[in-house]
Amino acid sequence: MLHMLILIWVIFESTSEVLGSINSYCPHHHLQQFDRKFELKTDRFWKFQEHSNKWVEVELPYDLTTCRNGNCTKVGQINNRLEKMEKQYDGFQQTKKSEKVKEVEKFHVDLTLRKRVSLTKISDMSIWITGESGSIYERFWNGVQWVIGPHDLPISAGLAVSIFGVNHSILALSEAGILYQLQINDGSQPIWVELIPTTDQTTSEEHASPVQLLAGVVSHDGMRVYFTTKNGTLLELTELEPPRWVDHGQPRDANVAAIADVASFRTEIVYTISSVGDLYEYDRNSKPLWKKHVWKDRAARDLRLIPSRGCYIHSLNGDHSISLFLLTKDGTLVERRLNKRKWKWIVHGRPKDHQLTSVLPALQDETNEKLFSLFLTTSSGFVFEYRTNIHPAGHGQEEETPDAWVNHKHPLNAKAARGIGGLQFQVGRLLFALDDGRIGELHLVGLGGENSGPTHHATSRRKPSAKYTWSILDAPESEGWNAEYCTEHRGPTNCIAGTKDDINDQGTRRSATRRPKGSQPQQNYLLPRTSESLSEKSSDSFDLLAEKWTKNSFRLRVMHGGRSFFLITVDGLTFEYLYTGDVWLWLRHESSTPMKGAVGNYNGSLYLVDNYGSLLIRERSSQELAWTNCTALRRGKQVIGGAPWDKFLGQSMKTTTEDALFFVSKTGRLLQFTVALRKFKWKNCQNPPDTKVASIVDQETFRENIVFVIGTNGRLYQYNKVTELWHEHHQSQHLLLSRMPGTATRPSPYSLIGSLFMISEDGGLIEYHWNPWDGWNWVEHGRPDRGVTFTTTPGPCFEGNQLFLVGSDGRIYLRYIEQDTWKWRNCGFPDQFDRDGKVNSKNGKGVICVDEELALEKEVEDVKAIDKNCDPKVASTKPIQFSEDAVVFELRDGRLGEMRQMEDSNWIWSRIIVTPTSLCISDYWTALAS
């Protein structure tokens, strides 16, 4: 009996407590699902009684003993496993709880205040939006789908901050405080016309200093608009044709910092908030004109209102009651209520661990008989619904409704913008600006979303049990996103007419499978995983890799397309290959320190990095060339690399006052260096939370305002210049990218369709493709041959479908599209040129690219060497696009090889360019640059 009990006990201990509770759980799931609550269905043990020949249940705890010659010794004990496991589970839960608290503390970080973002409903079919970039765009329902229309202010007007729909007209307020009206000119084109505030009280001195507007609120009847001014006054635009302005002044000893709301049933009343946080009521028909709403409760006197828009509700607590919902500076919801001619303050509080920053004016259509809802955003990007009781007779209690605060959270991998009120689009459909520049729609299940147009109110009345869900609506490229503009030049084919897309004729890059209408797109944009801190133990390996990236990726740089490019030699010398009109010359640019690479080109100035990581500009000053040390400027940084490609010089470049170049610092961070108007300024854009920046894939070629980078962990990230946010792109755990830069291609400037090309960690070609039908998709192109890997940055890419790559065998490979199919071509290397760069072949022509399946395998021994100093194979240096039909490569012997596109679109090695430092050379022209 004893041996049997010991055997049962030993097996029980060794099988992780499975036998004692054989029906409780599966042991294979235990390690994977620690958060499952333990449920033990049995904890019973039996011993066998020999004298009765029966099994008898024992009581726990039960001592296991061994007896010999009458001496019994305790050798173990079977404890109450349920109590033990409950204790273990409780301890585990405490650990999980503390981890969750830390995670919540990290997640509830206050977001940056977005000052230019606004949402305005013009009609059920038209929503106007100002983005953080200062652009204006419209979401318009054309009868089939939502399309995006641009309505930007003129460049001279600056950035827009808000839109107003007043008396069937569209008004826009600029960041400079100037108001514009959208009008139609003689050519039937919409134009923005400035509206200058003028009042009867305006003096000649005021004419010299125009009134600067800060923000505005449209009256409930949509006929007038009230503004706050920089001087702290209340200004009203009563008519548009012609414009008529009325200056209402300001309260005594206070200013007008914000307009809380305009009364709906008495249009002459306006509620304002001062910068101190006091509430004022302006009534043009009373004396005095301004009245201050004070806090009588001493405990509440310290509550100050935040200058922001409020929510005005009529008849919430009686036929003649008034409720004005406002927010305090500490994020608490309060109500100023008028009932039976008596005013009083009511504090509704706030959700636990959250600070409220905006309140959404609710529509009466969405109320039911008992509850009324407000929707509020928090400083950390959450959306809450506050439910309060409706008392039509006006005799209700002021107790808080059970479960008054409903947390709708936020869309997956996105948060609501801080301080930006939502927009009640329709019953059961609300729009919120997201912190990343997109729009989030909170709607009843089955009612809204990207593919859902305006619905009739009668069929969409909210049910008490209905649940809300989130949909993300894309924003245009001005905000760094992927919604195409609806214009004459680009956009959906059904842009204006409202006809359905013809998906069978969308070009060669159309995916074979189309996402079904209404289905949720894959979450490609992820919030980067957070970690406590980056490990510094890998600094040495990072420095070694950085040395390799700079050496291979930035030794060639185009200065002027077809006329000039720079070469940085292995020894750190700087040469320029220049065409003077009748002859090509090599010019040497002397420098005090050896150079490592050329990392940027802007407006005729070349940006280089030396061996110490200093960023230098080579530019012309007066009649001489000069060096400018940018790292020596204020907050200057040391860099290891920059964007791999410049916007091709043959294309028209739009210059702005915010033009900047991006670089990778020696510590693995992304750096922004403003270069516009020579107002140089450094900015540290940091790095994704869980990795350092290894290299830049693309800067604003593929997407305006977006910089794509590869982390040292081999994953793809992007940085948004407008929102200053990082996003990680969805990527298979098995797909790791090499740390070399990539290349971007966007065949048409009128379409957002395009691809990012990168090299995988195992040396294969990887494409990350985007189109408006399928979104983002990863494509693995692999390699042309098992024995070949790619050793440097892919590119350049011509016409969006001809990509050059350098193979580990020293040959050039071309990846191209023919009849909607990707194919390989082997371009070899320029082995038919002599040491002087002249063609040395029977037909007098260089090598052309041939399809890989037709290429003759040529071993190294088959290539007749010109001499021991000459090796015509291609080196692992990033090539450059020298012109619209030419690409230049570096050869292993230090010379350069040029390929040109022929009339049949194929490519041929056209010439060898001898360099000053190559030993495979007979002569060259050189001069000292000055």
Question: Mind listing the pLDDT tens digit for each residue in 549-596?
Answer: 667 889 999 999 899 999 999 999 999 999 998 899 999 999 999 999
Token output for 59: 């009581």
Quick one: pLDDT at residue 581? 87
Name the residue among 215, 205, 209, 183 with its Cα closest to residue 196. 209
* 769, 509 contact by CB (below 8 A): yes
Quick one: pLDDT at residue 601? 93
Quick one: pLDDT at residue 838? 64
Quick one: pLDDT at residue 788? 95
pTM attached to this predicted model: 0.83
Residue 169 has pLDDT above 60, yes or no: yes
* 780, 736 contact by CB (below 8 A): no
Quick one: pLDDT at residue 887? 96
Delineate the domains of the chain, giving CATH numbers in brackets: 2-107 (no CATH), 539-928 (2.130.10.10)
What does the alpha-carbon distance between residue 421 and residue 797 come to, in Å, rounded to a whole number? 44
Query: Tens digit of pLDDT for each residue in 14-24?
Result: 433 333 333 33
Query: Tens digit of pLDDT for each residue in 420-436?
Result: 999 998 888 999 999 99
Higher-pLDDT residue of 301 and 755 is 755
Residue 852 has pLDDT above 80, yes or no: no
**What pLDDT band is residue 463 in, cutting at 50, 70 and 90?**
low
Q: How many helices (H) and strands (E) does the chain have?
A: 5, 63
Give, in order, the Cα–Cα distances in Å from 72 to each of 51, 61, 79, 109, 650: 20, 18, 20, 64, 97
Token output for 908: 């041929």
**What pLDDT band is residue 807 in, cutting at 50, 70 and 90?**
very high
Q: Give the distance from CA 603 to its chain's centroid.
A: 28
Query: Tens digit of pLDDT for each residue in 514-557?
Result: 444 444 445 788 887 654 445 444 455 677 666 766 678 899 99
Which residues sit opposite 78 in a β-bridge? 62
Quick one: pLDDT at residue 399? 56
Q: Which residues contact 207 (CB under 8 A, 6 or more apart)?
A: none
Parallel, antiparallel or unpaired: strands 584-588 and 926-928: parallel
* 608, 618 contact by CB (below 8 A): yes
Residue 81 has pLDDT above 90, yes or no: no
- DSSP H or E segment with residue 30: helix 27-30
First-to-last C-alpha distance (Å) of the chain: 102
**What pLDDT band is residue 924 in, cutting at 50, 70 and 90?**
low
- DSSP H or E segment with residue 107: helix 81-107
Quick one: pLDDT at residue 416? 97
Query: Tens digit of pLDDT for each residue in 779-803?
Result: 999 999 989 999 899 999 998 899 9
Quick one: pLDDT at residue 653? 60
**What pLDDT band is residue 897 in, cutting at 50, 70 and 90?**
very high
**Per mean pLDDT, which range of 298-307, 334-343, 519-528, 906-915 is the poorest?**
519-528
Quick one: pLDDT at residue 359? 93
**SS3 (DSSP) at 96:** helix
Q: Where are the beta strands (DSSP E) in 589-669?
A: 595-602, 605-610, 615-621, 624-629, 639-642, 660-665
Residue 212 has pLDDT above 90, yes or no: yes
Quick one: pLDDT at residue 66? 75
Percent of the chain with pLDDT over 90: 54
Quick one: pLDDT at residue 529? 66
Token output for 600: 């940027």
Higher-pLDDT residue of 320 and 243 is 243
Higher-pLDDT residue of 534 and 250 is 250
Higher-pLDDT residue of 316 and 743 is 743
* 159, 116 contact by CB (below 8 A): yes
Name the residue among 406, 385, 384, 473 with its Cα closest to residue 434. 473
**What pLDDT band is residue 806 in, cutting at 50, 70 and 90?**
very high
Cα angle value 334/339/341 (rounded, 5°): 120
Quick one: pLDDT at residue 300? 61
Higher-pLDDT residue of 53 and 911 is 911
Query: Tens digit of pLDDT for each residue in 497-507?
Result: 665 554 444 44
Query: Tens digit of pLDDT for each residue in 816-837?
Result: 999 889 999 999 999 877 666 6
Residue with token string 């995670």: 103
**What pLDDT band is residue 308 in, cutting at 50, 70 and 90?**
very high
What does the alpha-carbon distance between residue 257 and residue 24 come to, in Å, rounded to a whole number? 63
**Per mean pLDDT, which range of 146-160, 246-260, 314-328, 839-853 is the poorest?**
839-853
Give, in order, the Cα–Cα distances in Å from 127 to each of 163, 375, 454, 459, 478: 10, 19, 11, 21, 17
* 151, 138 contact by CB (below 8 A): yes
**What pLDDT band is residue 192 in, cutting at 50, 70 and 90?**
very high
**What pLDDT band is residue 477 in, cutting at 50, 70 and 90?**
very high
Token output for 530: 């957070």
Quick one: pLDDT at residue 496? 67
Residue 480 has pLDDT above 60, yes or no: yes
Residue 927 has pLDDT above 60, yes or no: no
Mean pLDDT of the 240-256 span: 93
Token output for 847: 């090598």
* 693, 670 contact by CB (below 8 A): yes
Quick one: pLDDT at residue 493? 60
**What pLDDT band is residue 4 in, cutting at 50, 70 and 90?**
very low
**Per mean pLDDT, which range of 739-743, 748-752, 774-778 is the poorest?**
748-752
Mean pLDDT of the 877-885 span: 94
Quick one: pLDDT at residue 53? 78
Q: Which residues contact 544 (CB under 8 A, 6 or more apart)?
A: none
Quick one: pLDDT at residue 43? 67
**Per mean pLDDT, which range of 68-82, 316-330, 466-480 is the poorest?**
68-82
Sheet holding 584-588, edge to edge: 556-560, 564-568, 574-579, 584-588, 926-928
Quick one: pLDDT at residue 91? 55
Q: Judging by beta carbons within 10 Å of its beta carbon (0-12, 13-18, 19+), is residue 709 exposed, middle or buried?
A: buried
Higher-pLDDT residue of 680 and 459 is 680
Mean pLDDT of the 295-321 span: 79
Quick one: pLDDT at residue 747? 86
Mean pLDDT of the 294-311 span: 81
What does the alpha-carbon distance between residue 521 and residue 215 come to, in Å, rounded to a whole number? 36
3-state secondary structure 577-606: EEECCCCEEEEECCCCCCEEEEEEEECCEE
**What pLDDT band is residue 327 in, cutting at 50, 70 and 90?**
very high
Average pLDDT, the chain: 81
